[in-house]
Amino acid sequence: MKQYGAEFFGTFWLVLGGCGSAVLAAAFPGVGIGLLGVSLAFGLTVLTMAYSVGHISGCHLNPAVSIGLWAGGRFPAGKLLPYIISQVLGGIAAAGVLYLIASGKPGFDVAGGFASNGYGVHSPGGYSLLAALVTEIVMTMMFLIIILGSTDKRAPQGFAPLAIGLGLTLIHLVSIPVTNTSVNPARSTGVALFVGDWAVSQLWLFWIAPIIGAVMGALVYRFIGEQTEASR
């Protein structure tokens, strides 16, 4: 239960910090943090939680990451469902808190997107479904390679949170214009439920694509990272 609690609160922080920066601070008049600031905020949430709860739950904070770690032989199948449920609930709770905060400003309306992920007319840059699908698959694939590589026992110890946090920052820098960046079904689900309508109808892509990408990343790392007898 402590592991599930760590995943709940870790995902809560990721969604509150990342989506909160997008909703509350990205376009704040005069001092808005913009795309760069939002990207950094998402990376910092993972970095801080990795150091805080990584030793408790592994700090997945993402159903796709949990599935990818299972595919990579690093996580037991029996814990997948409880982890995913904890992550999704954490994301929904964070979106609820963010909604309470954001709705305190006159004129607030979730129709503005509420940091939801989308494609087509709901993509920040107007990118197509195919572009969104490829982006989410490839970005999540690379994220899993970063996670598996930096947490490998042969990697320098103690630096994995930095690599993972900076990796997620880079992912956001590249893909916010395309999909508003998901690579995390729990992050997408939390805010989408408050927007409803198009955000929920497009949510399928932000579950399927990250999971496909995560499994691909795990398979790639098992191929390139597995030690042979010669390398031992």
Encode pLDDT of 184-195 as tens digits: 999 999 999 999
SS3 7: helix
Encode pLDDT of 18-57 as tens digits: 999 999 998 888 888 999 999 999 999 999 999 999 999 9
pLDDT at 79: 95
CA 224 to chain centre: 24
Superfamily of domain 2-225: Glycerol uptake facilitator protein. (1.20.1080.10)
**Confidence check: pLDDT of 210 > 80:** yes
- State the residue for tokens 């609160």: 9
Query: For 21, phi and psi rounded to 5 degrees?
Result: -65, -35
pLDDT at 228: 47
Domain residues of the chain, as ranges?
A: 2-225
Please tell me the pTM assigned to this model.
0.93
SS3 223: helix
**Confidence check: pLDDT of 180 > 50:** yes
pLDDT at 227: 66
